[in-house]
Amino acid sequence: MDIESRSRKSARGLPSVAAPPPADGQLRLDSNTNLLGPNPAIRRVLEREAAGDFSLYPAPMHDELRKAIAAHHGLDPAEILVGAGADELIDVAVRAFVNPGETVAVAVPTFELYAFCARVEDARVAEVPLLDDFSLDADAVFRADGKLTFIASPNNPTGNAHPAAVLERVLRRSSGMVVIDEAYAEYGGHNFLKRVRELPNLLVLRTFSKAYGLAGLRVGYAAASREVIERLARVKMPFSVGALSERIAIEALADDGHVRQSREIVQAEKPWLMENLAALGLHPYPTDANFMLVRVGARLEELVRHLASKGIAVRALPKVLDGCVRVTIGRRKTNERLVKAIGEFTR
């Protein structure tokens, strides 16, 4: 049987976005996750729920978590939708607002899942290149005329946040929906969440995977007007976040100490890491996130292999930004280990 001919046409030949797992015991500087350690909310909930009954499904739309998120941000629960990480909500946004053949505009280079979800749904992807300094080309975004537009701020993998005035200009001039992905907003202080009531075409994505340190639990959320959330909910699978994950996320929201400490460590370590990488002849770019883009040059693949041999996993970006690597910012001990390993390679 020819399985390929029986598969969905838009998915034929589409490469998987799943990255190969790193070797056991590697220092994970490749995933932009929180390197501070486990969020204390995990232990507290596990101790409290040790004898919990998980034989029933959670609430279909995770109402208690929606209420907690809304209260945390000064919104209404009807303006919040919870999903299995922001990833699920990216897919939901495409399915809710884009018909086959319509245009999804994506400011690139950026998170690859935006284009992936659009192509699976048989949409046309219009890639809008960022300018040389990685800033957003608002005029090019308008010309792309997307039924749905994805903009990450801070952007992955470049690390920079786009000025609020530029994003607002895009929102006010765009005829389609605009998704602002704020996965790293807790590190950069940027926040469009409270604009959802005045900007009807705005959809903001957030996640518990980064600053909250809960990537393994897969919890994210979208904020938008009631009308937008209602349309997203029409095409979203119910029960997509487990009851335990939901309870830990609620607990994490109630105590922001872990997020605050994580932000403080990243802010303190950025200058040190930039200075030391530059001293080794590399070009680190300024960042508003918990990771840093670094231009290595022609020896990129050699460096990545060298770091792997030292037990350090980083993200090479040869197809996105030639000669660049992305590294997560950690505590001083972690950053010193990275710099030492790179120094052994460059000398």
Q: ∠328-30-36 over CA atoms, to 5°?
A: 45
Q: For the chain, what is the radius of gyration of the CA atoms?
A: 20
Tell me the average pLDDT of the chain: 93
295 beta partners: 283, 324
Q: Which segments of the chain belong to CATH 3.90.1150.10?
A: 20-38+257-346
Q: How confident is the model at residue 194 (pLDDT cuts 50, 70, 90)?
A: confident
Alpha-carbon gap, residue 179 to 195, rounded angstroms: 12
105-138 tens-digit pLDDT? 999 999 999 999 999 999 999 999 999 999 999 9
Residue 1: pLDDT over 80:
no
DSSP string, 122-183: TPEEEEEEPPTTS---HHHHHHH--SEEEEESS-TTT-PPPPHHHHHHHHHH-SSEEEEE-T
pLDDT, mean of residues 14-23 = 68
The dihedral sign for the CA sequence 122, 152, 283, 340: negative
Residue 22: pLDDT over 80:
no
Q: Return the CATH architecture of domain 20-38+257-346.
A: Alpha-Beta Complex (3.90)
Report in angstroms the alpha-carbon separations of 200 from 75, 91, 162, 176. Answer: 15, 20, 20, 10
Please identify which residue in the block is written with the tokens 């729920």. Answer: 49
Q: Which segments of the chain belong to CATH 3.40.640.10?
A: 53-254
DSSP state of 6: H
Residue 334 contacts residue 268 (beta carbons within 8 Å): no
Q: How confident is the model at residue 205 (pLDDT cuts 50, 70, 90)?
A: very high
Strands (E), the chain: 27-28, 80-83, 103-108, 124-129, 148-152, 177-181, 202-207, 220-224, 283-284, 291-295, 312-313, 315-316, 324-328
**Greater pLDDT, 230 or 8:** 230
For 53-254, the fitting CATH number among 3.40.50.150, 3.30.390.10, 3.40.640.10, 3.40.710.10 is 3.40.640.10
Residue 321 contacts residue 283 (beta carbons within 8 Å): no
Q: How confident is the model at residue 15 (pLDDT cuts 50, 70, 90)?
A: confident
